[in-house]
Amino acid sequence: MTVDREQVLRTAAALLTRRPTATMDEVARAAGIGRATLHRHFAGREVLVRALEQLCIQKLEAALETARLDEGEADEALRRLVASVEPAAGLLGFLFTESQLFEGEVSAGWERMDARIAALFRRGQEEGAFRIDLSPAWLTDALYGLVSSGAWAIHDGRVAPKDFQHMIVELLLGGVRRSVKR
Protein backbone atom coordinates (compact mmCIF):
# COMPACT_ATOMS: atom_id res chain seq x y z
CA MET A 1 0.00 0.00 0.00
CA THR A 2 1.31 3.41 -0.97
CA VAL A 3 1.09 6.05 1.72
CA ASP A 4 -0.05 9.52 0.67
CA ARG A 5 2.45 11.50 2.73
CA GLU A 6 0.65 14.80 2.27
CA GLN A 7 -2.66 13.30 3.37
CA VAL A 8 -1.00 11.80 6.45
CA LEU A 9 0.42 15.24 7.28
CA ARG A 10 -2.94 16.96 6.80
CA THR A 11 -4.62 14.35 9.01
CA ALA A 12 -1.92 14.81 11.63
CA ALA A 13 -2.37 18.58 11.53
CA ALA A 14 -6.13 18.27 11.98
CA LEU A 15 -5.74 15.89 14.93
CA LEU A 16 -2.90 17.77 16.62
CA THR A 17 -4.71 21.08 16.28
CA ARG A 18 -7.56 19.70 18.36
CA ARG A 19 -5.50 17.43 20.60
CA PRO A 20 -1.92 18.71 20.88
CA THR A 21 -0.98 15.82 23.18
CA ALA A 22 -2.12 13.12 20.75
CA THR A 23 0.39 10.30 20.52
CA MET A 24 2.05 9.03 17.37
CA ASP A 25 -0.19 5.94 17.71
CA GLU A 26 -3.26 8.18 17.62
CA VAL A 27 -1.88 10.03 14.61
CA ALA A 28 -1.33 6.72 12.82
CA ARG A 29 -4.88 5.55 13.63
CA ALA A 30 -6.38 8.84 12.45
CA ALA A 31 -4.40 8.56 9.20
CA GLY A 32 -5.55 4.97 8.70
CA ILE A 33 -2.06 3.53 8.77
CA GLY A 34 -0.07 1.43 11.19
CA ARG A 35 2.27 2.85 13.76
CA ALA A 36 5.27 1.22 12.08
CA THR A 37 4.33 2.80 8.75
CA LEU A 38 4.03 6.22 10.37
CA HIS A 39 7.43 5.79 12.02
CA ARG A 40 9.03 4.78 8.71
CA HIS A 41 7.96 8.15 7.30
CA PHE A 42 8.37 10.24 10.47
CA ALA A 43 10.84 8.89 13.03
CA GLY A 44 9.25 10.82 15.87
CA ARG A 45 6.96 13.65 16.81
CA GLU A 46 9.55 16.37 16.17
CA VAL A 47 10.22 15.00 12.68
CA LEU A 48 6.46 14.95 12.04
CA VAL A 49 6.03 18.56 13.19
CA ARG A 50 8.99 19.69 11.07
CA ALA A 51 7.48 17.93 8.07
CA LEU A 52 4.19 19.73 8.76
CA GLU A 53 6.06 23.02 8.86
CA GLN A 54 7.81 22.33 5.56
CA LEU A 55 4.57 21.30 3.84
CA CYS A 56 2.84 24.41 5.12
CA ILE A 57 5.64 26.68 3.94
CA GLN A 58 5.60 24.99 0.53
CA LYS A 59 1.82 25.41 0.21
CA LEU A 60 1.83 29.00 1.45
CA GLU A 61 4.69 30.03 -0.82
CA ALA A 62 2.75 28.59 -3.76
CA ALA A 63 -0.33 30.51 -2.59
CA LEU A 64 1.69 33.74 -2.47
CA GLU A 65 2.79 33.19 -6.07
CA THR A 66 -0.78 32.45 -7.19
CA ALA A 67 -2.09 35.56 -5.41
CA ARG A 68 0.21 37.93 -7.35
CA LEU A 69 0.57 40.24 -4.35
CA ASP A 70 2.31 43.00 -6.31
CA GLU A 71 -0.48 43.36 -8.88
CA GLY A 72 -3.47 45.68 -8.65
CA GLU A 73 -4.84 47.37 -5.57
CA ALA A 74 -3.76 46.04 -2.19
CA ASP A 75 -7.26 45.05 -1.06
CA GLU A 76 -7.78 43.00 -4.24
CA ALA A 77 -4.38 41.35 -3.75
CA LEU A 78 -5.46 40.49 -0.21
CA ARG A 79 -8.64 38.88 -1.54
CA ARG A 80 -6.58 36.79 -3.96
CA LEU A 81 -4.24 35.82 -1.13
CA VAL A 82 -7.04 34.54 1.10
CA ALA A 83 -8.51 32.57 -1.80
CA SER A 84 -5.10 31.06 -2.57
CA VAL A 85 -4.36 30.20 1.06
CA GLU A 86 -7.68 28.47 1.70
CA PRO A 87 -6.51 24.93 0.76
CA ALA A 88 -3.65 25.20 3.27
CA ALA A 89 -5.69 26.84 6.03
CA GLY A 90 -5.74 23.72 8.22
CA LEU A 91 -1.96 23.38 8.09
CA LEU A 92 -1.53 27.05 8.85
CA GLY A 93 -3.99 26.74 11.72
CA PHE A 94 -1.95 23.97 13.29
CA LEU A 95 1.37 25.74 12.96
CA PHE A 96 -0.01 29.12 14.03
CA THR A 97 -1.35 27.71 17.28
CA GLU A 98 1.57 25.38 17.90
CA SER A 99 4.34 27.89 17.21
CA GLN A 100 5.66 27.33 20.72
CA LEU A 101 6.91 23.97 19.47
CA PHE A 102 9.68 25.81 17.67
CA GLU A 103 11.06 27.46 20.82
CA GLY A 104 11.59 30.89 19.31
CA GLU A 105 13.07 29.55 16.07
CA VAL A 106 11.81 31.18 12.90
CA SER A 107 12.68 29.39 9.69
CA ALA A 108 13.79 31.20 6.58
CA GLY A 109 10.56 30.07 4.91
CA TRP A 110 8.41 31.80 7.52
CA GLU A 111 10.55 34.91 7.36
CA ARG A 112 10.11 35.08 3.56
CA MET A 113 6.33 34.67 3.82
CA ASP A 114 6.01 37.16 6.66
CA ALA A 115 8.04 39.71 4.70
CA ARG A 116 5.94 39.32 1.55
CA ILE A 117 2.62 39.58 3.36
CA ALA A 118 3.81 42.52 5.49
CA ALA A 119 4.91 44.24 2.27
CA LEU A 120 1.36 43.87 0.95
CA PHE A 121 -0.04 45.55 4.07
CA ARG A 122 2.63 48.26 3.90
CA ARG A 123 1.73 48.91 0.26
CA GLY A 124 -1.94 49.21 1.22
CA GLN A 125 -1.00 51.72 3.90
CA GLU A 126 1.11 53.73 1.46
CA GLU A 127 -1.77 53.72 -1.05
CA GLY A 128 -4.02 55.14 1.68
CA ALA A 129 -6.32 52.12 1.66
CA PHE A 130 -5.29 50.53 4.98
CA ARG A 131 -5.00 52.02 8.44
CA ILE A 132 -1.57 53.28 9.35
CA ASP A 133 -1.92 52.85 13.11
CA LEU A 134 -1.50 49.06 12.86
CA SER A 135 1.89 47.68 11.92
CA PRO A 136 2.26 45.45 8.87
CA ALA A 137 3.72 42.76 11.15
CA TRP A 138 0.60 42.84 13.35
CA LEU A 139 -1.68 42.72 10.30
CA THR A 140 0.26 39.70 9.02
CA ASP A 141 -0.27 37.89 12.33
CA ALA A 142 -3.94 38.90 12.29
CA LEU A 143 -4.31 37.41 8.81
CA TYR A 144 -2.75 34.14 10.02
CA GLY A 145 -5.11 34.13 13.00
CA LEU A 146 -8.20 34.74 10.88
CA VAL A 147 -7.25 32.07 8.35
CA SER A 148 -6.65 29.64 11.21
CA SER A 149 -9.93 30.52 12.90
CA GLY A 150 -11.76 30.16 9.60
CA ALA A 151 -10.31 26.69 9.08
CA TRP A 152 -11.36 25.61 12.58
CA ALA A 153 -14.86 27.04 12.21
CA ILE A 154 -15.36 25.13 8.98
CA HIS A 155 -13.86 21.94 10.43
CA ASP A 156 -16.27 22.17 13.39
CA GLY A 157 -19.24 22.80 11.11
CA ARG A 158 -19.92 26.26 12.53
CA VAL A 159 -19.34 27.96 9.18
CA ALA A 160 -20.04 26.79 5.65
CA PRO A 161 -16.91 26.25 3.53
CA LYS A 162 -18.27 28.62 0.88
CA ASP A 163 -18.06 31.46 3.43
CA PHE A 164 -14.34 31.09 4.20
CA GLN A 165 -13.03 33.81 1.91
CA HIS A 166 -15.85 36.27 2.53
CA MET A 167 -15.75 36.12 6.32
CA ILE A 168 -11.97 36.48 6.53
CA VAL A 169 -11.53 39.21 3.93
CA GLU A 170 -14.48 41.28 5.08
CA LEU A 171 -13.52 41.13 8.74
CA LEU A 172 -9.88 41.89 8.04
CA LEU A 173 -10.55 44.66 5.54
CA GLY A 174 -13.26 46.14 7.71
CA GLY A 175 -10.66 46.44 10.44
CA VAL A 176 -7.76 47.71 8.36
CA ARG A 177 -9.49 50.22 6.14
CA ARG A 178 -8.76 53.79 7.03
CA SER A 179 -11.80 55.64 8.31
CA VAL A 180 -12.45 58.96 6.70
CA LYS A 181 -13.64 61.49 9.27
CA ARG A 182 -16.31 63.80 8.02
Each residue of 6-63: pLDDT tens digit? 899 889 888 887 787 889 999 999 999 999 999 999 999 889 988 988 888 898 999 9
- Asked whether the predicted pLDDT for residue 165 surpasses 80, the reply is yes
Task: Give the pLDDT confidence of 77-97 residue by residue, as tens digits.
Answer: 999 999 999 998 888 877 777
Instruction: Report how far residue 58's alpha carbon sits from residue 117's, in angstroms, rounded to the nearest whole number.
Output: 15
CATH number of 5-176, picked from 3.40.50.1000, 3.40.50.300, 1.10.760.10, 1.10.357.10: 1.10.357.10
Task: Give the pLDDT confidence of 146-164 residue by residue, as tens digits.
Answer: 998 898 888 889 999 999 9
Record the pTM: 0.82
pLDDT at 90: 82
pLDDT at 99: 60
Report the percent of the chain where pLDDT is more than 70: 90
> Domain segments of the chain: what residues?
5-176
pLDDT at 91: 82
User: What is the 3-class SS of the chain, one letter each residue?
Assistant: CCCCHHHHHHHHHHHHHHCCCCCHHHHHHHHCCCHHHHHHHCCCHHHHHHHHHHHHHHHHHHHHHHHCCCCCCHHHHHHHHHHHHHHHHHHHHHHHHCHHHHCCCCCHHHHHHHHHHHHHHHHHHHCCCECCCCCHHHHHHHHHHHHHHHHHHHHCCCCCHHHHHHHHHHHHHHHHECCCCC
